[in-house]
Amino acid sequence: MSSTYHYDVIVIGAGHAGTEAALAAARIGARTVLLTTNLDTVGQMSCNPAIGGVGKGQIVREIDALGGAMGRAIDATGIQFRMLNRSKGPAMHSPRAQADKRAYQTEVKRLVESQPNLSLRQEVVEDLLTAESADGQRITGVSVRGGATYTAPAVVITTGTFLQAIMHTGEAKTPGGRGGEGTTSGISAALTRLGFELRRFKTGTPPRLNARTIDFDRCELQPGDDDPQPFSFLTDKLTQPQLPCYITTTNQAVHELIRANLHRAPMYSGQINSSGPRYCPSIEDKIVRFAEKQSHQLFLEPEGRSTQEVYVNGVSTSLPRDVQDAMFKLIPGCEQAEIMRYGYAVEYDYAPPDQLQPTLQTKHVAGLYFAGQINGTTGYEEAGAQGLIAGANAALAIANREPLILSRDEAYIGVLVDDLVTCGVDEPYRMFTSRAEYRLLLRHDNADRRLTPLAHNAGLVCQQRMDRLRTKLGEVDRIAAVLDSRRHEGVTLAQLLRRPEVEWPQVVALAPELATVDPLAAEQALIDTKYAGYIARQQVDVERLHRLASKRIPASFDFERLVQLRAEARQKFTRIRPIDLAQASRISGITPADIALVMAHLDAPRR
């Protein structure tokens, strides 16, 4: 007799999306189970041993402000911390950290195992269970290998690169979504049966070298920051010693070797036809697309404190083993280096994300949510953000509460989700600061101010976070009051601070009581004051967005009956099902005339 287990939320896959989804659902109070094929790979870093970066660091801070695990895990296990783009304005500052890969994974698993309302199980999901309801198909649970069944009114799929996955190294092809692991086909078959469209993407990973065989004296040293900044708003200070990274470069000899072997590279031999990440190209792609470049930088990044493995950032490849061996013999500092793991490409199924609602619930099956690479994204940070939103909304829906939908002016996570569900993807999606039109408002330093109150209302964060935020905001207000009231040579200190040549230490010299304020509060007050004019201008644009967003489009609205609407617009509106005019206006190919026509029909009943 087969066993049946009952839960509120089932999460399939325990990578970065799955762990954040399960933790979020459990924090809200849903009885949650996290199913993974291997308990030893919970939270594993499949590719680079790092968290954050340009655009991505902002997302990690937002995940943390919403109560997620990623920021706390990297603060506890990081081995090098850097703030990128310090020479640019605050909107561009992006935290990044190298992780102790094994320690990071262990810490994420510890957080999962210690979370109330959350069970962790090693299971292979083979099918999705659904039932007909008044509104169409509804998820009811999953069946797993061995015959057991898990039932729940909500299921979150976070399968990463494991759906019908094939790994490529040169001419060799191996089933699997990650080195040393297998693949799964049951979920793809179930999704196809339920009417979902599936396509193929590919991603890749670089070789790993043995640090003992690298001549680091021939490479450029890349140390961490002297004043490392934490990711989590709960971390007061980072105290662990940092490890250095190193930089080397390719050269024309390397490029000639790769060109001579392009016919053996799966992306160029026709063995792989799916799209890969344009902004994180393989070394083969770099040589072809940037043929005029004499060299490309490579970053030698340690994978941990207790391992000799070194990740070679910048040389993702699926070239044959013998070519990878020959390539490193031509790279300065790596001439004698031993490859411990060879690079490979992975080809896998994903579901185009315009099949999702802004809650990340699917349009085809009620109660079914997708998060992570199944939505056509790439990156730990993007995956974790989607997982948190999907898991939270699954739990909120079960409790008949308002969903958590972040707008583009509230969070990078809002930009990410809106881009996915509104525009879809034609290549693996990754976040950049340039994707956020309100990026001066969406800085990494103010993520708690923007999102923690929303998270508290949803039940995602504890009272401790709200108390810390209120203390910080009180300090910001106190600093602002000093800046507005104290004068120097006829102007307030706030007016003085807005001058480009004036910096914070000069203001502190005129108001010594500011020397002892909380540095984080001082940073907030400084940015609020110095960039007040720019922030005000962005707020005008935000108000325009909100006016469009206030024009809601009923779920029952029939675009096909608008015969005056262009056929392309009718087709896109019907497929995407925008929830308001703001989202409708962002659909690719939609014109202002299309929006005006829809608006007129929305207003018609009132007239």
In this prediction, residues 204-213 reach a mean pLDDT of 95
Residue 88 above 60 pLDDT? yes
Residue 396 above 60 pLDDT? yes
Task: Write out pLDDT tens, residues 542-591.
Answer: 998 888 888 899 988 999 988 888 989 999 999 899 999 999 999 988 88
**What pLDDT is attached to residue 592?**
85
Q: For the domain made up of 550-603, give the CATH fold.
A: DNA polymerase; domain 1 (1.10.150)
CB-based contact 433:92 (threshold 8 Å): yes
Residue 607 above 50 pLDDT? no
Task: Write out pLDDT tens, residues 216-232.
Answer: 999 999 999 999 999 99
Structure tokens at 320: 């044959």
CB-based contact 230:240 (threshold 8 Å): no
Angle at which helices 56-65 and 380-398 cross, to 10° = 30
Distance CA 454, CA 258 (A): 51
DSSP string, 23-47: HHHHHHT--EEEEES-GGGTT--SS
**What pLDDT is attached to residue 606?**
53
Task: Write out pLDDT tens, residues 243-263.
Answer: 999 999 999 999 999 999 999
C-beta atoms surrounding 239 within 10 Å: 7
pLDDT-above-90 percentage for the chain? 77
Architecture of the domain whose range is 7-204+348-436? 3-Layer(bba) Sandwich (3.50)
* Least confident window among 12-26, 384-398, 500-514: 500-514
Residue 233 above 70 pLDDT? yes
C-beta atoms surrounding 457 within 10 Å: 12
Q: Identity (one letter) of the amino acid at 508?
A: V
The sign of the dihedral angle between the CA atoms of 554, 559, 563, 567 is positive
Alpha-carbon 552 to chain mean position: 28
Residue 170 above 80 pLDDT? yes
Q: Where in the chain is the domain with CATH 1.10.10.1800?
A: 462-538
Long-range contacts of 218-221 (CB under 8 A, 24+ apart): 218/248, 218/332, 218/333, 219/246, 219/247, 219/248, 219/300, 219/332, 219/333, 220/246, 220/247, 220/248, 221/246
**What pLDDT is attached to residue 605?**
58
**What pLDDT is attached to residue 133?**
84
Tokens 């995602």 -> residue: 460
Q: Where in the chain is the domain with CATH 1.10.150.570?
A: 550-603
CB-based contact 300:214 (threshold 8 Å): yes
Distance CA 126, CA 346 (A): 21
CA distances in angstroms from 164 to 43, 45, 198, 286, listed in the order given: 21, 20, 11, 27
Task: Write out pLDDT tens, residues 456-473.
Answer: 999 999 998 999 999 999
**What pLDDT is attached to residue 280?**
73
CA distances in angstroms from 55 to 91, 412, 430, listed in the order given: 10, 8, 9
In this prediction, residues 179-193 reach a mean pLDDT of 87
**What pLDDT is attached to residue 391?**
98
Residue 279 above 70 pLDDT? no
* Least confident window among 336-340, 395-399, 596-600: 596-600
The 10 Å CB-count burial string (b at 16+, else e) for 99-134 is bbbbbbbbbbbebbeebebbbbeebbbbbbebeeee
Distance CA 56, CA 235 (A): 19
**What pLDDT is attached to residue 268?**
75
Question: Under CATH, which number does the domain 208-343 receive?
Answer: 2.40.30.260
Instruction: Calculate the dihedral angle through the C-alpha atoms of 376, 378, 381, 387, rounding to the nearest 10 degrees.
Output: 30
Residue 19 three-state SS: helix
CB-based contact 7:153 (threshold 8 Å): no
Residue 272 above 80 pLDDT? no
Q: Rounded mean pLDDT of the chain? A: 93
Beta bridge partners of 58: none
CATH for 462-538, options being 1.25.40.80, 1.10.10.1800, 1.10.540.10, 3.90.1150.10: 1.10.10.1800
**What pLDDT is attached to residue 1?**
65
**What pLDDT is attached to residue 292?**
92
Distance CA 340, CA 304 (A): 15
* Least confident window among 55-59, 160-164, 273-277, 346-350: 273-277
C-beta atoms surrounding 399 within 10 Å: 12
List, in sequence order, every beta strand (DSSP E) within 448-511: 487-488, 491-492
Q: Where in the chain is the domain with CATH 3.50.50.60?
A: 7-204+348-436
The DSSP H or E segment spanning 76 is helix 70-77
Residue 116 above 70 pLDDT? yes
List, in sequence order, every beta strand (DSSP E) within 468-593: 487-488, 491-492
Beta bridge partners of 168: 173, 345
How do beta strands 297-302 and 491-492 pair?
A: unpaired
